[in-house]
Amino acid sequence: MDQYKAAAFRWVEAHLGELSDWNQVIWHYGETALREYKSAAWYVARLKQEGFAVEAGTGGMPTAFRARWTNGAGPTIAAYAEYDAVPGNCQAAATKKMPRTGLSPHAGGHTDPHSALGISALGGALAAKAVMAEQDIRGTIVLFGEPAEKLRLSKPVHAAKGYYDGLDAAISFHPTYMLPLVNTARWDTHCGAGYACIYTFECDEPEGWLSGDPDSPIPASHVAARAPGATDALMHMFALTKQTQSNMLPFTQGWSLSEAILTAGQATADNLPAQIAEIQYLWRTPTIEMAEQVARVLDNNAEVAAKAAHCRWHRTWVTKSRPGLPNHALAEATYRNIVAAGAPRWGGEAIRLAQEIQRELGVAPMEKPYLEACERTIPPGEMELQLRHDLPPAQLNSTSDDYTEFCWHCPTVRFYIARPMLKSAGKPYPAWAMNALGGLRPCIDPMIATAAKTIGATILDLMTSADLLARARDEWRERTGGGIGGGKWLAPLLPRDFRVPLDFRWPEYVTTARGEEWWIPTRQAQ
């Protein structure tokens, strides 16, 4: 290991207490997509204190940012923080199932956890910055604040609006969420396309339903037939889409479609039809062509549902993200840094907490409660063989994440470090157990340390090795057919003037006369 990486590793070790504290702040905020106000403000303030020039509210997203630190002319290397939590996963940093103090169990909580993802990226950037300043290494570090990853939203927006133009390379980190993606870097099989949109149904002319009473002074007369309304349209859409899901795409390659009801009609008196209802669909596919086919079927379903319920409909796009591209040069370099940093290790207190969770669940405490794979590294090529075991040869991309947007603008590496994961007990662990481990310091801090070291070392590699950067750049140009605008290059799928759909009924924390609470209030004990 060279002197620069050794210095970055020492910086992370010396500042791990601060990184742990910072993760606790973001983890306990637990703010969800497009509503990460406190989390984004914390990052902006912290980065300014660290000497970064920060642009807040990038791309028309109030909770996004771009932070730049420059030490003269040289490569521009990007990393990013995510900080959105997931609704319905409010868990305390405890060894039993319980929401965070004063909150509903339906409130947001970190599952992956993005809190530690972001702090790892911040720690790596600060470690590299410290070494660059001390050794006068020339170049620029860019740290993006990327909200709403669970909606696949911010990175397609940033890409469409030009924020990734001019980058020389990008580093994407995520905590392990499935095996064999543990303490390794992706090789050939990267994430696929991700689309999301909202269908709005409105019944704003109920008096036109069939034949009403033309002599009634009240448009929605009690003696007239009641229009079905927006709730009916939404339910038709929901049922029809479930019914036609097997007709959307052929039974080849993995893909998925999920839905979430946003606005479910209006609470109206008497027999008036609901005026408005909204449902969001998000689908993941290996290719853009498959994603577009799903969109066509959904549009057709919306048209039919609206007509049946005497409504009009419109679609609002939330996101469209592109499939990812490999970069073997960066994957190899990053994996070497994972090995140098060392896979996470869980000590006595982390083991004790895991055993407490097992006791709480009626599982006999294990001497070594964490998965053995979490404490081992796996070379990218070997990981690729395991990952593709159940994938058809023709499928080039699998699952979904919007880091893929970076891949089309510069060489990009995607790597994973093990989060604390419990060894199988013969039955699945409940979600709260995994979520709690992300908030317990002794359990999550080893992952932060390894990830921050890996990011810092990889930034320094790219700043100091012209050969590595050139090989990564050449490979990227080959895969895109010549770089941006090349024959195999995919342009952003969103238009440059895309307006982020901020004003929908996204889950969030609200302030009332009772104080700050989740928008679904905590139910008082009866």
One domain for residues 419 and 301: no
Band (215; pLDDT cuts 50, 70, 90): low
Least reliable range by pLDDT among 203-217, 307-321, 362-376, 444-458: 203-217
Is the model's pLDDT at 90 over the cut of 90? yes
Is the model's pLDDT at 15 over the cut of 80? yes
Residue 518 within any structural domain of the chain: no
One domain for residues 14 and 118: yes
Which position has the token pair 């994440």? 401
Cβ–Cβ < 8 Å for 34, 63: yes
One domain for residues 305 and 264: yes
Residue 304 within any structural domain of the chain: yes
The DSSP call for residue 492 is P
- pLDDT over 70, % of the chain: 96
Band (216; pLDDT cuts 50, 70, 90): low
One domain for residues 57 and 102: yes
One domain for residues 42 and 171: yes
What b/e sequence results for 127-146 when a residue is b if at least 16 CB atoms lie within 10 Å of its CB, and e otherwise? bbbbbbeeeebebbbbbbbb
User: Domain tally for the chain?
Assistant: 2
Q: What is the reported pLDDT for 263?
A: 81
| Domain-terminating residue out of 321, 349, 379 | 321
465 vs 264, more confident? 465
Q: How far apart are CA 316 and CA 503, in angstroms?
A: 11
- pLDDT over 90, % of the chain: 87
First to last CA, the chain: 62
Band (523; pLDDT cuts 50, 70, 90): confident
Helices 16-29, 114-135: inter-axial angle, 10-degree rounding:
150
3-state secondary structure of 325: coil
Residue 459 within any structural domain of the chain: yes
Residue 109 within any structural domain of the chain: yes
Q: How far apart are CA 417 and CA 97, in angstroms?
A: 26
Band (518; pLDDT cuts 50, 70, 90): very high
pLDDT tens track for 445-477: 999 999 999 999 999 999 999 999 999 999 999
The DSSP call for residue 55 is E
Is the model's pLDDT at 525 over the cut of 70? no
One domain for residues 145 and 21: yes
Q: What is the reported pLDDT for 170?
A: 98
Q: How far apart are CA 454 and CA 460, in angstroms?
A: 10
Least reliable range by pLDDT among 38-47, 178-187, 335-344, 387-396: 387-396
One domain for residues 296 and 396: no
CATH number at residue 198: 3.30.70.360
Q: Give the residue-averaged pLDDT of 48-58.
A: 98
Q: What is the reported pLDDT for 310?
A: 96
Residue 500 within any structural domain of the chain: no
Residue 515 within any structural domain of the chain: no
Averaged pLDDT of the chain: 94
One domain for residues 39 and 184: yes
One domain for residues 314 and 341: no
One domain for residues 301 and 336: no
| Domain-terminating residue out of 264, 287, 321 | 321
Q: How far apart are CA 516 and CA 129, in angstroms?
A: 37
Band (526; pLDDT cuts 50, 70, 90): very low
Q: How far apart are CA 143 and CA 519, in angstroms?
A: 31
Residue 407 within any structural domain of the chain: yes
Q: What is the reported pLDDT for 209?
A: 87
One domain for residues 227 and 354: no
Is the model's pLDDT at 505 over the cut of 60? yes
Is the model's pLDDT at 221 over the cut of 60? no
Q: What is the reported pLDDT for 343?
A: 98
Band (206; pLDDT cuts 50, 70, 90): confident
CATH number at residue 434: 3.40.630.10
pLDDT tens track for 369-414: 999 999 999 999 999 999 999 899 999 999 999 999 999 999 999 9
One domain for residues 283 and 354: no
Q: How far apart are CA 439 and CA 28, in angstroms?
A: 8
| Domain-terminating residue out of 321, 350, 370 | 321
Residue 40 within any structural domain of the chain: yes
> Can you give the residue range of the structural domain that contains 314?
194-211+223-321
Q: Give the residue-averaged pLDDT of 60-68.
A: 98
For CA atoms 228, 233, 235, 237, the dihedral sign is positive
Is the model's pLDDT at 298 over the cut of 60? yes
Q: How far apart are CA 366 and CA 361, in angstroms?
A: 13
Q: What is the reported pLDDT for 460?
A: 98
91 vs 521, more confident? 91
Q: What is the reported pLDDT for 40?
A: 98
Band (431; pLDDT cuts 50, 70, 90): very high
Instruction: Fill in the amino acid letter for 355.
Output: Q
Q: How far apart are CA 444 and CA 346, in angstroms?
A: 9
